[in-house]
Amino acid sequence: MIAKSMEGLVNNNSVIRQMFEEGQKMAAQYGAGNVYDFSLGNPNVPAPKKVEETIKKLIAEEDPVVLHGYMSNAGFPDVRKKVADSLNRRFNTSFTENNIMMTVGAAGGLNCALKALIDPGDEVVTFAPFFLEYKNYVGNFGGVLITVKPDTETFQPNLPEFEEKVTAKTKAVIINNPNNPTGVIYSEKTIKSIASILEKKQEEYGHPIFIISDEPYRELVYTGAEVPYITRYYKNTIVGYSFSKTLSLPGERIGYLVLPSEADGYDELFGALTIANRILGFVNAPSLIQRVVAECLEEKADIAYYAKNRDVLYEALKKYGFSCIKPEGAFYMFIKSPVPDEKEFVAKAKEYRILLVPGSSFMCAGFVRLAYCVSYETCKNSLPGFESLAKDYGLI
C-alpha cells in the first residue's frame, strides 16, 4: 500500500509512540509533577520578550502583502543580510546575504543540503552517537549513511576510524556541534583534524567532500566553552542553524544554511540549495518569522536556566556514582548505563517515574540520554529516584 521505503519507519514509529503514550499515561496516573520526563528536547523556556514585541511591531507597521508574501526561495534579502552581519560580528567571518539561505528549521536546511549534494548510492559519514534522523534525511535521497563508532571516553569524534570510512563514494560528512545527545563540544583541535583528513581525501578522490555542520545548539554553551566556527577551518562547509533552541521557537520552523563563497562550485551549489528548498516543498522559510528572527539575532533563551539544571543533575549523579561527561553545551547529558543493556536501565528508571532515552536510539548502546530542558523542580525532585537507582545497581 504505502511506499516500501516507509514500511519499516511506520512499524518502528509505533514503538516511539508507545513510549510517548506511556509517559502521558504515567503523568495521568501519578500527576505530571511526579513524573520526571527527560525524554524530549522541547525547550521549556519561553521565547525572549522581544519575539512577541517584534511580531506586534511588524503586524502594525508592515504591508501584509509583503509580510505574508512570497519572496526569493532563499528568503528576504534584508533578513539574510542581517544574519550574515551578525555572524561576521561574532565569528570574524565575511559573509553577505549571498551566503545565507533561510530554511524551515535546521531539519529543512539539512534536507536541502543533502538534496543538493547527493545522488542514490552516494555515502554520507557521521559520528556516533548521533540524532538518528540523519539516517532518514540521507535515505530520502537514496544516500547511504556510514557511521563511525564513538569514542566513549571523550565523545570527541573517533578520527582513525573516520579516516578509514571516508571513501571515493563519500559526498558529505555530517557533524553536530554542540552534540546531541552528549552535550560535548567538538574542540578546535578536533575540527582542524577533521578538516585536514578531508583536505587529503578530497585531493585523493578528486572531488569535494562537504561538511554539513548541524548547529542548533550553537548558542547554548556554558561558561568558558566556545564552539569554533567551522567555515574558518574548512571551506567546503554548509552550516545548518535553527532558532528552535536559542529563541525557543521549535514549532515555528525557522533556521538558515550558510554556504561560504570560497566553497568549491559555490554558484552552482547555492543555486541547487535554493532549488532544493523550492522543489522539496518548503518553497521558503515562513515569512513573518523570518522578519522576527532578523530583529532578535542578539537575543538568547536564558542559558542560566539550563545551567542550573545541568549543575544540580551533574553533581548529584556524580555523587551517586553514575558516570557521565559534564555537558559544555546543549541541554543533554549522556549517562553510562550501570548495566550493559541500557534498555534494562531505562525500564528500571521508569519504576522511579524517570523517563530517559536509550543510547541505541543514537547508535550508542550502553548509554542513556537525559534532556534537562525541563523545570528546575523536575530536576531537583528526580534526585531521590536517581539515588535509589544508584543503590539498586550497587553504585553507592
- For the record, the C-alpha cell of 175 comes out as 557533524
Q: Kindly state whether residue 140 participates in binding its own copies, applying the rule CB under 8 A.
A: yes
CA 309 to chain centre: 19
| 206 versus 340: smaller Cβ distance to its own copies | 206
Q: Contact at 8 Å (CB) between 242 and 106? A: yes
Q: Kindly state whether residue 36 participates in binding its own copies, applying the rule CB under 8 A.
A: no
| Chosen residue from 276, 354, 357, 383 binding its own copies by CB under 8 A | 276
Q: How far is the CB of 143 from its own copies (least distance, A)?
A: 9
Show the site string, 188-207: x = touches its own copies by CB under 8 A, - = not.
Answer: -------------------x
Q: How far is the CB of 286 from its own copies (least distance, A)?
A: 5
HSE-CB for 216 with a 13 A CA cutoff: 27
| 120 versus 224: smaller Cβ distance to its own copies | 120
Q: Kindly state whether residue 217 participates in binding its own copies, applying the rule CB under 8 A.
A: no
Q: How far is the CB of 198 from its own copies (least distance, A)?
A: 15
**Cβ-Cβ contacts under 8 Å for 247 (sequence gap 6 or more):** 47, 48, 51, 293, 296, 299, 300, 301
| Chosen residue from 33, 46, 160, 384 binding its own copies by CB under 8 A | 46
Residues 284-313 that bind its own copies (CB under 8 A): 284-289
Alpha-carbon gap, residue 102 to 277, rounded angstroms: 9
| Chosen residue from 21, 22, 78, 133 binding its own copies by CB under 8 A | 133
Q: How far is the CB of 35 from its own copies (least distance, A)?
A: 18
Alpha-carbon gap, residue 385 to 382, rounded angstroms: 5
Show the site string, 65-84: x = touches its own copies by CB under 8 A, - = not.
Answer: x-xxxxx-------------
In 3D space, the residue among 264, 218, 267 whose CA is nearest the CA of residue 239 turns out to be: 218
Q: How far is the CB of 211 from its own copies (least distance, A)?
A: 15
CA 63 to chain centre: 35
Write the Ramachandran bin of 265: left for phi over 0, alpha for psi from -120 to 50, otherwise beta.
Answer: left
